[in-house]
Structure 1
């Protein structure tokens, strides 16, 4: 995928970010570099690998699954949000 001004404008709209005109070329170069780097992963031969392959010895460490008392984590997180209602974030619609 090639990043151009059209794609960058769409990303700006979806992310609700405004990129200064003087920085747009730099951002396009950076995003293109990221996509090229990620595209290198397509060159890896993973056909012989098990889908659950892990580089960690013994697999992924798990924590003890212990029940906790009800807490106010959701209310604490939502207290920092610009808008929230009934334990949910309220965000602008992005689908036209």
Structure 2
């Protein structure tokens, strides 16, 4: 696969961007270079490589999920609100 001018113009329209005329050739070359690199990766023989490989040999340690009720956290958060009342944010009404 290669990027030609027609495909680049189509991509420009889809991405809703405007390319300068002097940029078009450079962008085509860059995109074609990326595609060639990916095609080289696709040609690699990966049959003997396991599908999952990780350096981590131990399992992740899990912590207990214990809810903590700390009213000070809510107070600290509400201090930053423009308006609050009874531990709730006051926001403008948007639905009539």
The TM-score normalised by the length of structure 2 is 0.55
Which of 50, 55, 58 is equivalent to 1:57? 55
> Who wins on radius of gyration, i.e. which is larger?
2
For residues 13-55 of structure 1, the C-alpha deviation after alignment (integer angstroms, 9 at most, x for no partner) is 111111101110010001001111111102211112222x22x
**Please, what is the CA RMSD of the aligned residues?**
2.7
Query: Partner of 1:38: helix, strand, or coil?
Result: helix
1:39-82 alpha-carbon deviations (Å, 9 max, x no partner): 1102211112222x22x3117x86968699xxxxxxxxxxxxxx
Structure 2 runs not aligned, ≥5 long? 68-96
> Which residue in 1 is equivalent to 2:13?
13
Q: What CA distance in whole angstroms lies between the structure 1 residues aligned with 2:55 and 2:47?
A: 21
Q: RCO (CA 8 Å, sep 6+): is it higher in 1 or 2? A: 1
Alignment length (residue pairs): 65
Distance 1:16 1:48, change over 3 A: same
Structure 1: gaps of 5 or more residues: 69-96
TM-score using structure 1 length: 0.55
Change (3 A) 1:46 1:22: same
C-alpha spacing 1:2/1:67, structure 2 compared with 1 (3 Å): farther
1:24 maps to 24
